[in-house]
Amino acid sequence: QITLKESGPTLVKPTQTLTLTCTFSGLSLSTSGVGVGWIRQPPGKALEWLAVIYWNDDKRYSPSLKSRLTITKDTSKNQVVLTMTNMDPVDTATYYCAHIPTTVTRLFYMDVWGKGTTVTVSS
């Protein structure tokens, strides 16, 4: 059974850097074909894709946020870390990580999600 759990600060100040950690079990990011992604959802709004990292360290980012995002993995700790620089109040959202069971992009989907962590950006 795959589980994922997001962790990080609940409150950050504008211009600060946000660091979120996704800790998972039941999967290994050293296994061929596996990926972990990040998605966020501002209060009352739609889901927004952020980034994905695959077992082979291939990374993809949202074009609109690419300059601010960095995704890394620590296979030994079963963790994926997302950093977002220069935080702004519009970045206030619930941030989710999710498991991607395929590297075939045209078949891309997220089959298991974490419960999410809420981040508020305010001074």
Partner 1 sequence: QSVLTQPPSASGTPGQRVTISCSGSSSNIGSNTVNWYQQLPGTAPKLLIYSNNQRPSGVPDRFSGSKSGTSASLAITGLQSEDEADYYCAAWDDSLNGPVVFGGGTKLTVL
Smaller CB distance to partner 1: residue 59 or 79? 59
By DSSP bridging, strand 11-12 and strand 117-121 are parallel
Strand ranges (E), 1-123? 3-7, 11-12, 18-25, 35-41, 48-54, 59-61, 69-74, 79-84, 93-100, 112-113, 117-121
Is 88 a residue that touches partner 1 (CB under 8 A)? Answer: no
Residue among 19 and 110 whose Cβ is closer to partner 1:
110
8 Å CB contact between 24 and 79: yes
In this structure, what token pair is assigned to residue 87? 């935080």
Nearest to 54 by CA among 39, 40, 76, 71: 71
Near partner 1 by CB under 8 A: residue from 48, 70, 83, 118: 48
Which of 31, 107 has the CB closer to partner 1? 107
Q: Please identify, among the stretches 18-26, 69-77, 78-86, 113-121, the one whose residues bind partner 1 according to the rule CB under 8 A.
A: 113-121
Q: Which of 24, 93, 96, 121 is the binder for partner 1 (CB under 8 A)?
A: 96
Q: Tokens for 45?
A: 């709004």
Site string (15-44) toward partner 1, x via CB under 8 A: ----------------------x-x-----
Query: Which residues contact partner 1 by CB under 8 A?
Result: 37, 39, 46-49, 52, 60, 62-63, 96, 105-116
